[in-house]
Amino acid sequence: MTNEQHDETDTGSGQHPEAAEKIEQDRLWRDDGWTARVIKNEDDDGWAVAMIKDGEPEPALVGPWTMGRDKKNPKPLDAGAFHTLVKTASEVLRRHEQQLHAMLHKSVQVSTASATINVTLDIVPDEDDPYAILAAEDESGERLAEVRVAPNFKLTRTSAEAWIESGFAKPR
Protein backbone atom coordinates (compact mmCIF):
# COMPACT_ATOMS: atom_id res chain seq x y z
CA MET A 1 0.00 0.00 0.00
CA THR A 2 1.27 3.44 -0.81
CA ASN A 3 0.59 6.76 0.77
CA GLU A 4 -1.42 8.96 -1.56
CA GLN A 5 -1.28 12.02 0.70
CA HIS A 6 1.67 13.31 2.72
CA ASP A 7 1.01 14.51 6.24
CA GLU A 8 3.25 17.47 6.98
CA THR A 9 3.23 16.80 10.75
CA ASP A 10 4.43 13.21 10.27
CA THR A 11 7.96 12.77 11.59
CA GLY A 12 8.83 10.35 8.79
CA SER A 13 9.28 7.44 11.18
CA GLY A 14 5.60 6.58 11.35
CA GLN A 15 5.49 8.24 14.76
CA HIS A 16 3.64 11.44 15.46
CA PRO A 17 4.54 14.26 17.83
CA GLU A 18 3.33 13.70 21.38
CA ALA A 19 1.04 16.73 21.25
CA ALA A 20 -0.28 15.96 17.78
CA GLU A 21 -2.83 18.46 16.64
CA LYS A 22 -6.34 17.42 15.73
CA ILE A 23 -6.73 16.96 11.96
CA GLU A 24 -9.99 16.35 10.11
CA GLN A 25 -9.34 15.93 6.40
CA ASP A 26 -11.00 13.71 3.78
CA ARG A 27 -8.11 11.21 3.84
CA LEU A 28 -6.45 11.98 7.18
CA TRP A 29 -7.94 12.25 10.66
CA ARG A 30 -5.98 12.57 13.87
CA ASP A 31 -7.55 12.76 17.32
CA ASP A 32 -7.51 11.07 20.73
CA GLY A 33 -4.10 9.43 20.16
CA TRP A 34 -5.02 7.86 16.82
CA THR A 35 -4.45 8.64 13.15
CA ALA A 36 -6.64 7.29 10.35
CA ARG A 37 -5.08 7.51 6.90
CA VAL A 38 -6.87 6.50 3.69
CA ILE A 39 -4.33 4.95 1.32
CA LYS A 40 -4.32 3.40 -2.14
CA ASN A 41 -4.62 -0.40 -1.98
CA GLU A 42 -1.69 -1.83 -3.98
CA ASP A 43 -3.43 -5.18 -4.38
CA ASP A 44 -6.37 -3.82 -6.38
CA ASP A 45 -7.99 -0.62 -7.60
CA GLY A 46 -9.59 0.10 -4.25
CA TRP A 47 -8.69 2.01 -1.13
CA ALA A 48 -7.71 1.02 2.39
CA VAL A 49 -7.59 2.77 5.75
CA ALA A 50 -4.69 2.42 8.18
CA MET A 51 -5.21 3.11 11.89
CA ILE A 52 -2.03 4.09 13.73
CA LYS A 53 -1.82 4.65 17.48
CA ASP A 54 0.36 7.67 18.26
CA GLY A 55 3.93 6.64 18.99
CA GLU A 56 3.65 3.29 17.22
CA PRO A 57 5.67 2.59 14.05
CA GLU A 58 3.15 0.19 12.50
CA PRO A 59 -0.62 0.39 12.00
CA ALA A 60 -2.76 -1.45 14.52
CA LEU A 61 -5.34 -2.06 11.80
CA VAL A 62 -5.40 -1.89 8.00
CA GLY A 63 -8.67 -2.63 6.26
CA PRO A 64 -10.63 -1.93 3.10
CA TRP A 65 -12.14 1.51 2.64
CA THR A 66 -15.30 2.40 0.74
CA MET A 67 -15.17 3.98 -2.72
CA GLY A 68 -16.84 7.35 -3.16
CA ARG A 69 -19.82 8.03 -5.38
CA ASP A 70 -17.57 8.55 -8.42
CA LYS A 71 -16.27 4.95 -8.03
CA LYS A 72 -12.74 6.31 -8.42
CA ASN A 73 -11.84 8.19 -5.25
CA PRO A 74 -12.28 7.07 -1.63
CA LYS A 75 -15.22 8.08 0.49
CA PRO A 76 -14.13 10.94 2.80
CA LEU A 77 -13.47 10.14 6.45
CA ASP A 78 -15.97 11.56 8.93
CA ALA A 79 -16.37 11.66 12.71
CA GLY A 80 -18.59 8.57 12.91
CA ALA A 81 -16.29 6.45 10.76
CA PHE A 82 -13.22 7.66 12.66
CA HIS A 83 -14.69 6.76 16.06
CA THR A 84 -15.74 3.32 14.78
CA LEU A 85 -12.22 2.76 13.43
CA VAL A 86 -10.68 3.82 16.77
CA LYS A 87 -12.94 1.38 18.62
CA THR A 88 -12.10 -1.47 16.23
CA ALA A 89 -8.33 -0.79 16.26
CA SER A 90 -8.35 -0.55 20.09
CA GLU A 91 -10.06 -3.94 20.29
CA VAL A 92 -7.47 -5.46 17.92
CA LEU A 93 -4.67 -4.18 20.17
CA ARG A 94 -6.45 -5.45 23.31
CA ARG A 95 -6.85 -8.96 21.80
CA HIS A 96 -3.20 -8.96 20.71
CA GLU A 97 -2.08 -8.03 24.23
CA GLN A 98 -4.28 -10.74 25.75
CA GLN A 99 -2.90 -13.33 23.32
CA LEU A 100 0.70 -12.30 24.06
CA HIS A 101 0.02 -12.46 27.80
CA ALA A 102 -1.49 -15.96 27.44
CA MET A 103 1.57 -17.12 25.47
CA LEU A 104 4.07 -15.75 28.00
CA HIS A 105 2.26 -16.57 31.27
CA LYS A 106 0.96 -20.02 32.13
CA SER A 107 -0.28 -21.48 35.40
CA VAL A 108 -1.63 -24.74 36.80
CA GLN A 109 -2.93 -25.71 40.22
CA VAL A 110 -1.75 -28.91 41.84
CA SER A 111 -3.46 -30.42 44.86
CA THR A 112 -1.14 -32.31 47.19
CA ALA A 113 -2.02 -34.17 50.36
CA SER A 114 -1.36 -31.05 52.42
CA ALA A 115 -2.12 -28.06 50.17
CA THR A 116 -3.03 -26.63 46.81
CA ILE A 117 -0.01 -25.20 45.03
CA ASN A 118 -0.19 -22.72 42.15
CA VAL A 119 2.67 -23.26 39.71
CA THR A 120 3.39 -20.49 37.20
CA LEU A 121 5.67 -20.16 34.19
CA ASP A 122 6.58 -16.65 33.07
CA ILE A 123 8.52 -16.46 29.81
CA VAL A 124 10.91 -13.54 29.34
CA PRO A 125 11.31 -13.12 25.55
CA ASP A 126 14.72 -11.42 25.66
CA GLU A 127 16.28 -11.19 22.17
CA ASP A 128 19.75 -12.25 23.37
CA ASP A 129 18.96 -14.58 26.25
CA PRO A 130 15.33 -15.72 26.50
CA TYR A 131 14.39 -17.65 29.63
CA ALA A 132 11.45 -18.48 31.86
CA ILE A 133 10.79 -18.37 35.58
CA LEU A 134 9.06 -21.41 37.08
CA ALA A 135 7.53 -20.54 40.43
CA ALA A 136 5.32 -22.12 43.08
CA GLU A 137 3.03 -20.39 45.58
CA ASP A 138 0.84 -21.76 48.34
CA GLU A 139 -2.84 -20.90 48.76
CA SER A 140 -2.02 -17.69 50.65
CA GLY A 141 0.28 -16.46 47.86
CA GLU A 142 3.52 -17.17 49.69
CA ARG A 143 6.37 -18.04 47.31
CA LEU A 144 7.55 -21.61 47.93
CA ALA A 145 10.14 -21.86 45.16
CA GLU A 146 11.40 -20.14 42.05
CA VAL A 147 13.83 -21.39 39.42
CA ARG A 148 15.06 -20.20 36.03
CA VAL A 149 14.30 -22.64 33.20
CA ALA A 150 14.54 -22.76 29.42
CA PRO A 151 11.93 -20.60 27.63
CA ASN A 152 10.56 -23.72 25.92
CA PHE A 153 9.84 -25.49 29.22
CA LYS A 154 6.40 -27.10 28.96
CA LEU A 155 4.27 -26.41 32.02
CA THR A 156 1.67 -29.13 32.40
CA ARG A 157 -0.02 -30.60 35.43
CA THR A 158 2.35 -33.59 35.13
CA SER A 159 5.51 -31.44 34.92
CA ALA A 160 4.29 -29.29 37.84
CA GLU A 161 3.57 -32.38 39.97
CA ALA A 162 7.03 -33.80 39.16
CA TRP A 163 8.67 -30.49 40.13
CA ILE A 164 6.80 -30.38 43.46
CA GLU A 165 7.59 -34.04 44.20
CA SER A 166 11.29 -33.42 43.53
CA GLY A 167 11.33 -30.83 46.29
CA PHE A 168 11.43 -28.04 43.68
CA ALA A 169 14.73 -29.21 42.17
CA LYS A 170 15.56 -27.48 38.89
CA PRO A 171 13.93 -29.46 36.06
CA ARG A 172 16.26 -30.87 33.43
- Print the SS3 string covering 25-89: CCCEEEECCEEEEEEECCCCCCEEEEEEECCCCCCCEEEEECECCCCCCECCCCHHHHHHHHHHH
The ranges of the chain with pLDDT < 70 are 1-20
- Predicted local distance difference test score (pLDDT) of residue 84: 96
pTM over 0.85: no
pLDDT, tens digit (0-9, with 9 covering 90-100), for 32-47? 999 999 999 877 778 9
